[in-house]
Amino acid sequence: MPLNIPISEVLKLCGEPAIVVSPQLQLVACNNAAHNIIGIPLQTSADQELMLDSVLSNSESARSAQPSPQTQFFKDKKPYNYIRHQKSADGESIVVQAFGKPLLDEQGQLYLFETMRVLNQPNSSKNDNRKNIIGQSEACAKMRERIQKVAPTKLPVLLYGESGSGKEMAAQYVHQLSTRQNKPFVVGDCTVLTEALFESELFGHEKGSFTGSVGEKKGLIEVANGGTLFLDEIGELPLSLQAKLLRLLENFTYRRVGGTEFLTADVRIISATNRDLFEMVKQGGFRQDLYYRLAVFPILVPSLSERREDIPLLVEGLLEQIGKEMGRKLKTSEDAMKKLCSLSLIGNVRELRNILQYASAVCNDDVITPEDLMIAGNGLYQADPDAGLSFRRAEPAAAPPVSAAGRSVLPNTDAEFQPLPDDIVDRVEMQYMADLVKRHNGDKSKVAEHLGISQRTLYRRLAAIKQNFKDFVIDESGE
């Protein structure tokens, strides 16, 4: 579907590091987060001809004889998801997970929209994440106390709690307080790769072990050697891989895919889940022996509903982080803070961050007001109905199931990190258009003029939104 908003707006509203690439593999644009990772210019133009292969010249895919995922994307037009090893802006070796999706401009020209996630912290002493454990509530204090007790030991840690509650931040805090703090902290997400690819990424592979493997490759275990390996959403690990992970925990040995030699690993395992692993054990979905190996020291990461008094501190801390990414000093008005504290944030810290990221992109004078807050509802946003355009669910979402023990047993729909959905451009466009309607007080003619399209095209676009997202009601009462 053609894009009716500037590419810069897509990048600005995307919280993850992101780049846009042309069919000629020329870098068209990037956001601040991507610039901080690989040091590419924030502003690019056609006469610069900054080619993607020059940016990724030191990555594995650039050295491979096989076509790069980006080249292949423009041949088969299919989204991709892969992990590459490359250099960061400051010359450090980093492991990046990249997600590529199609993006069409207003003329229907295809572009590549790639988001990235850095899976390791090569020198954790430069990235002290202790400040990420923000909060003065009793629930937060209990979590912090347990982390401080277990961090200096070598024990495996199991973090459990609702999705978006900050389990990865808690894992980083354990790492920072351990004797491994100056060694790598590496993330392995058990939800985002196929079983075969995940095995290769976790354990590495030998040359020729499968089609396309032109050389040997280090796995995340090897990259994390001497440091910490954080396995997110461990409940999604296939049973076939659970036995291999158990061997690693028992003997600290593993084999690469296609290899015969056992390698030794010096790595601490921290795992996380939003599921009831003990119930999965009883139902045969998770190995009992692995469960007891992982859950030596369990820690509950509380939801925001259990620590609502921490929201003002979290908002302040998140705005400091977002402001650094955007080169701004952000704050909220008193009314905006009251509204944030009153919200039912099912998505926890992640949802709060998403709300603040959007508000930061649209606010004036670096001050977020209640009008800037677009409240998420299962991944889409609801604008202020008084502004003339809103996206709201016709029926309330069902409450998540709760186990007998009282913990939420959530389906695996939202890992601690979630790749952008396939319809991310449509979703961002809806946010952008809703904001324009708000700015122009519901005047569709001014919105169409701002977008450089006819009113007829605007109404067709709104109709398409209704068609593509049938479970949402579009309120255009602002006219």
Instruction: Please give the model's pTM, rounded to 2 decimal places.
Output: 0.65
Higher pLDDT, 244 or 384: 244
| Terminal-to-terminal C-alpha distance of the chain | 26
> Can you count the helices (H) and strands (E) in the chain?
18, 19
Residue 456 pLDDT > 80, yes or no? Answer: no
Neighbours of 261 (CB within 10 A): 8
**Rounded-to-integer distance, Cα 302 and Cα 407, Å:** 10
Backbone angles phi, psi at 103, to 5 degrees: -140, 125
pLDDT the model gives residue 125: 45
**Rounded-to-integer distance, Cα 4 and Cα 384, Å:** 21
Band (pLDDT 50/70/90 cuts) for residue 30 is confident
Residue 245 pLDDT > 60, yes or no? Answer: yes
**Rounded-to-integer distance, Cα 173 and Cα 61, Å:** 32
Q: What is the DSSP letter of 97?
A: E
User: What DSSP string describes 252-267?
Assistant: SEE--BT--S-EE---
Alpha helices in 327-421 (DSSP H): 334-342, 348-362
Tell me: the pLDDT tens digits for 406-440?
333 323 333 344 444 455 556 666 666 666 776 67
pLDDT the model gives residue 343: 86
Domains and CATH numbers, the chain: 7-117 (3.30.450.20), 124-302 (3.40.50.300), 309-373 (1.10.8.60), 378-479 (no CATH)
Tell me: the pLDDT tens digits for 157-193?
999 999 989 999 999 999 999 999 989 999 988 887 6
Give the pair of three-digit tokens for residue 21: 């690439």
Give the pair of three-digit tokens for residue 358: 């959007």
Handedness of CA 221, 224, 225, 229 (dihedral sign): negative
